[in-house]
């Protein structure tokens, strides 16, 4: 068995883990990050890609990459579409901010390249990972592809290992609280080869269900429609998908989507989850290991990056002062944004999705809520401020 000694061990080398490793390296703090996935697996798994202004600022100001500004697409607003009509939510006019369409895979590539450039110790493709002694002298243990066992001894351990986290279970049930909400609908997501149907995102609520029209590149588009979580993609031939999307977007303005060959189909169930506290002894949780949100509000990746920005600050204090109590403020600061995002995502989701068994009252009430929102400058501003992100805490 080989043993490595480091200051901060990180389980999970997705965007959250790599950003934390990068920020700590800039502060002169050693880290080792491990992930059971290979780099190729992570950078070829398609994920959401809307970045808040502070996420963009973090990537650029931290010296990760300016590619988000040259390769990303600034979105100065979105369209809310209901009753067959589109209503623009002007982010710049209402909140003085934009979002950027920049796929999570690109964020990961930028971070992985930055860690490789700077000599960071990141170990992809490990297996049989375990962690232990999180209130004493933490360590990570794993096997490489030849079966050799490796141990990483660390002063602090960070679980940034996603929604199937092994680290979150290290906090005993007597010391944790978990909050959970499962939703009775899912998204049927597609990637297709077609020109963009609109310059920015369209969030659509119709009596047939929700639809989201997004973009990926000039030639590849990402679209979603509300479906049953039990749906099988094999039961959705291309003709059925396009027919349903066109019906949900139909309106008096004659809007139609540009269609093209569909090369990926996925069903994405979603849920809300929070585990508190985010610290136990020398273990800290970040990103999806600590919380998940429905994708409707575009908050998942942004919450993870906000977590590690705060976590890097408190870890630097703890290391510099040799004072683990400096970590106490992490849970409080991070959870302020987490619960704001939970509310915002829940609100967007329930406002735009048709609940199973909805009657005519439910349908008309939703239209009344949307009509009230778009008619109110205060309502539109709340949406714009929430979508583009709240100030750092």
Q: Residue 341 in contact with residue 349, Cβ under 8 Å?
A: no
Using DSSP, state whether 368 is helix, strand or coil. helix
Is residue 98 a contact partner of residue 388, using CB atoms and an 8 Å limit?
yes
Task: Give the active site residues.
Answer: 75, 203, 295, 299, 387
214-221 long-range contacts, CB within 8 A, separation 24+: 214/101, 215/73, 215/101, 216/49, 216/103, 216/191, 219/193, 219/194, 219/195, 220/191, 220/192, 220/193, 220/194, 221/191, 221/192, 221/193, 221/194, 221/195, 221/196, 221/197, 221/258, 221/260
Residue 177 CA: distances (Å) to CA of 67, 193, 285, 330: 39, 44, 14, 16
Q: What is the dihedral of CA 196, 197, 203, 208, to 10 degrees?
A: -130
CB-based contacts of 260, cutoff 8 Å, min separation 6: 192, 193, 194, 195, 221
Bridge partners of 139, per DSSP, are 132, 153
Quick count: other Cβ atoms within 10 Å of Cβ 281?
17
Closest CA to 272 of 189, 341, 192: 341
* Secondary structure string (H, E, C) spanning 254-323: CCCCCCCCEEEEEEEEEEEEEEECCEECCEEECHHHCEECCHHHCCHHHHHHHHHHHHHHHHHHHHHHCC
């Amino acid at each position: 068995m080989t043993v490595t000694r480091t200051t901060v061990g990180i389980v999970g080398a997705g965007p959250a883990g790599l950003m934390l490793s990068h920020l700590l390296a800039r502060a002169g703090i050693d880290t080792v990050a491990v992930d059971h996935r290979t780099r190729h697996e992570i950078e070829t798994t398609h994920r959401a890609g809307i970045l808040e202004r502070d996420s963009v600022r973090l990537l650029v100001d931290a010296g990760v990459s300016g590619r988000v500004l040259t390769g990303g697409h600034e979105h100065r607003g979105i369209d809310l579409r209901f009753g067959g009509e589109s209503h623009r939510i002007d982010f710049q006019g209402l909140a003085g901010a934009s979002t950027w369409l920049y796929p999570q895979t690109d964020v990961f590539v930028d971070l992985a390249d930055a860690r490789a450039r700077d000599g960071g110790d990141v170990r992809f493709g490990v297996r049989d990972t375990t962690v232990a002694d999180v209130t004493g002298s933490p360590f990570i243990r794993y096997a490489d592809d030849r079966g050799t066992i490796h141990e990483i001894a660390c002063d602090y351990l960070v679980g940034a290992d996603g929604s199937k986290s092994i680290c979150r279970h290290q906090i005993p049930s007597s010391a944790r609280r978990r909050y959970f909400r499962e939703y009775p609908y899912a998204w049927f997501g597609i990637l297709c080869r077609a020109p963009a149907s609109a310059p920015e995102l369209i969030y659509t609520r119709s009596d047939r269900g929700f639809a989201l029209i997004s973009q990926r590149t000039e030639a590849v588009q990402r679209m979603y429609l509300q479906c049953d979580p039990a749906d099988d993609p094999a039961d959705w031939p291309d003709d059925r998908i396009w027919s349903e999307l066109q019906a949900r977007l139909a309106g008096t303005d004659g809007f139609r989507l540009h269609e093209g060959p569909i090369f990926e189909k996925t069903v994405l169930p979603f849920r809300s989850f929070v585990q508190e506290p985010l610290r136990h002894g020398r273990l800290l949780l970040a990103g999806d290991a600590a919380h998940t949100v429905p994708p409707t509000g575009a908050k998942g990746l942004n919450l993870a990056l906000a977590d590690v920005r705060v976590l890097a600050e408190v870890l630097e204090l703890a290391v510099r002062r040799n004072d683990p109590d400096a970590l106490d403020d992490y849970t409080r600061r991070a959870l302020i944004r987490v619960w704001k995002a939970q509310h915002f995502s829940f609100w967007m989701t329930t406002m735009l999705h048709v609940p199973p068994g909805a009657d005519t009252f439910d349908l008309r009430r939703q239209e009344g809520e949307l009509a009230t929102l778009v008619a109110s400058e205060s309502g539109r501003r709340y949406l714009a401020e929430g979508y583009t992100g709240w100030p750092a805490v």
